[in-house]
Amino acid sequence: MSLTGKKALVTGGNRGIGLATVRALAEAGAEVHFTARSAANIAAAQRELGGIPATGHHANMTDRIAMATLLEQGFDILINNAAVIGPIGCILDVSAEDWATSIDVNLTAAFHATQRALVRMVANGGGTIVNISSGAAHRPQEGWSAYCAGKAGLAMLTRSVHLEYGGQGIRIFGFAPGVVDTDMQGAIRASGINPVSKIPRADLAPAHEPAKAIAWLCTAAADALAGQELDVRSPDLRAAAGLPPIT
Ligand SMILES: NC(=O)c1ccc[n+]([C@@H]2O[C@H](COP(=O)([O-])OP(=O)(O)OC[C@H]3O[C@@H](n4cnc5c(N)ncnc54)[C@H](OP(=O)(O)O)[C@@H]3O)[C@@H](O)[C@H]2O)c1
């Protein structure tokens, strides 16, 4: 798996699946950039990477000017990873303001990053975008109306980009990473609100597994899957991406 010569941007690359994806892309030879919401988070990620080269950029996903400026650099690969799980709560218990913030981070900001990335990708004749999806895009969970709606919208954005730009060299994928041992799952467990929150931590997958599959999607080997919503739990995808079967 070689991504040598490719320039990649991972949003929310300072921890969790984003950080593991930074590592996987760099190990595959890409020039990797990532966003984080503070200089301290960039420094913490660099420490975790332990010398693996990656450039951090201080940017909130919802800062349209900062994200547009960053994406003007031009990237061959964009991983729309940054997201929030909250507000967690049933519909009568969450505010419209918090709901709108979730949609802004998880959907509108991903749209904006995609739009700004496409400018250079289309001009260059191609590029790869991976939208980090979720089972929640397709199956509602109690207490997650904002998250589910945002991820469902993101899945439709994936299909829209494929329809409009797939013929111009743009490969876009929706990718559900499974139930992964990150801080997001810690917050979900603490809520106790739905069946996902009851999954024991020991049953969660390590972040390097979806990260390896995300890096694989960035290679030509995944061309035939472009435009689709994919799931790391698919046996065929796992085999193709070099992941062990789920036992
Ligand atoms: N973990 C799972 O089981 C699971 C399952 C299905 C889908 N996913 C998806 O996988 C992706 C990564 O999730 P994760 O589990 O790694 O989550 P995580 O551990 O909570 O990390 C989320 C990342 O997104 C960043 N982020 C959040 N809001 C941001 C904003 N406004 N601007 C910039 N960065 C922002 C966070 O930055 P800060 O450090 O500054 O907060 C952090 O780097 C998400 O799209 C999530 O929906 C995860």
How far is it, in rounded angstroms, from Cα 114 to Cα 162?
12
Provide the number of structural domains found in the chain.
Answer: 1
247 within some domain: no
DSSP 104: I
- Judge whether 179 and 209 are in contact, CB under 8 Å: no
Residue 84 belongs to a domain with what CATH number?
3.40.50.720
How far is it, in rounded angstroms, from Cα 142 to Cα 54?
38
How far is it, in rounded angstroms, from Cα 53 to Cα 56?
10
Does ligand 1 have an atom closer than 6 angstroms to the CB of 145?
A: no
202 within some domain: yes
Q: Which domain holds residue 177?
A: 66-241
Q: Is 165 a catalytic residue?
A: no
Residue 203 tokens, joined: 């049953």
Does ligand 1 have an atom closer than 6 angstroms to the CB of 187?
A: no
Most ligand 1 atoms within 8 A of CB, residue of 9, 14, 17 to mutate:
17
Does ligand 1 have an atom closer than 6 angstroms to the CB of 183?
A: yes
124 within some domain: yes
Q: pLDDT tens across 158-188, in order?
A: 999 999 999 999 999 999 999 999 999 999 9
Cα three-residue angle 82-230-124, rounded to 5 degrees: 65
What distances in angstroms separate CA 146 from CA 87, 90, 102, 120, 136, one per listed residue? 7, 10, 6, 31, 10
Does ligand 1 have an atom closer than 6 angstroms to the CB of 105?
A: yes
Q: pLDDT tens across 28-60, in order?
A: 999 999 999 999 999 999 999 999 999 999 999
Which residues, at least 6 apart from 115, have a Cβ–Cβ distance to it below 8 Å? none
The predicted pLDDT at position 1 comes to: 78
Residue type at 48? E
Cα three-residue angle 144-59-45, rounded to 5 degrees: 85
61 within some domain: no
Phi/psi of residue 79, each to 5°?
-110, 105
194 within some domain: yes
137 within some domain: yes
Most ligand 1 atoms within 8 A of CB, residue of 15, 48, 107 to mutate:
15
- Judge whether 76 and 128 are in contact, CB under 8 Å: yes
pTM passes above 0.95: yes
Residue located nearest, by CA, to atom 37 of ligand 1: 12
Does ligand 1 have an atom closer than 6 angstroms to the CB of 72?
A: no
212 within some domain: yes
How far is it, in rounded angstroms, from Cα 28 to Cα 6?
10
How far is it, in rounded angstroms, from Cα 222 to Cα 227?
11
The predicted pLDDT at position 51 comes to: 95
219 within some domain: yes
The predicted pLDDT at position 222 comes to: 98
Residues linked to residue 132 through DSSP beta bridges, in sequence order: 175
How far is it, in rounded angstroms, from Cα 81 to Cα 10?
7
